[in-house]
């Protein structure tokens, strides 16, 4: 967790550098390098990853094809796991699931989103749990299961209301 204003400014700078790197097509290499440098300090690895969340979301909704997003998110998840950044692992797993959902690969989406739900639960990240549940509800809707989607959203709502962190 980042505590000081100076640390927050550094992470804001890292996020800006991440956006510039993404624009140049160099984002993944930059993030992987930063996570490797932070390997000895999992808290730092998580903080560095946090600064890249908006870039990762841009991947999902930007012009990059979903199979490429899945490939990048899988590589990111593997790098984060090696760095001990479990929040990053959980987020990358959700990103894979989201890209699969948007690509209409409902089986892959469900598997990855359930894994993300479990990972977020294990690390005590209710915002991430709520996000995974909401996306799982979308999978249920895509399969025509309104009742299942409603049950998932009923589980997500209290988690989202009481989470002090967005998404992770």
Structural domain contains residue 13: yes
Structural domain contains residue 167: no
Structural domain contains residue 41: yes
Structural domain contains residue 83: yes
pLDDT bin (cut points 50, 70, 90) of residue 1 is very low
As a whole number, the mean pLDDT across the chain is 80
Count up the domains in the chain and report the number: 1
Of 148 and 167, more confident: 148
pLDDT digits (tens, 9 = 90+) for 34-63: 666 666 666 665 666 565 566 677 777 777
Mean pLDDT across 65-90: 85
Domain of residue 108 covers 5-162
Structural domain contains residue 168: no
Q: Check pLDDT > 70 for residue 10.
A: no
Structural domain contains residue 130: yes
Q: Is the pTM of this model over 0.75?
A: no
Structural domain contains residue 77: yes
User: Which of 104, 126, 106, 105 shows the shortest CA–CA distance to 117?
Assistant: 126
- Render 16-85 in DSSP notation, one character per residue: HHHHHHHHTT-HHHHHHHHHHHTTT-HHHHHHHHHTTHHHHHHHHHSSS-HHHHHHHHHHHHHHHHHHT-
We report the CATH number of the domain holding residue 157 as 1.25.40.10
> 37-51, 113-127, 148-162: which range is least confident on average?
37-51
């Amino acid at each position: 967790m980042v505590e000081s204003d100076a640390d927050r400014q550094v992470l804001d700078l890292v996020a800006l550098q991440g956006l510039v790197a993404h624009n140049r097509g160099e984002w993944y290499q930059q993030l992987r390098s930063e996570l490797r440098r932070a390997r000895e300090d999992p808290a730092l690895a998580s903080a560095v990853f946090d600064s890249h969340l908006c870039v990762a979301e841009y991947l999902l909704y930007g012009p990059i094809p979903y199979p490429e997003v899945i490939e990048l998110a899988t590589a990111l998840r593997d790098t984060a796991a090696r760095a001990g950044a479990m929040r990053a692992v959980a987020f990358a797993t959700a990103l894979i699931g989201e890209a699969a959902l948007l690509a209409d690969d409902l089986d892959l989406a469900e598997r990855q989103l359930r894994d993300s739900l479990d990972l977020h639960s294990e690390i005590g990240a209710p915002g991430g749990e709520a996000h995974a549940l909401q996306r799982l509800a979308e999978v249920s809707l895509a399969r025509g299961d309104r009742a299942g989607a409603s049950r998932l959203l009923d589980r997500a709502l209290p988690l989202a209301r009481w989470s002090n962190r967005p998404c992770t």
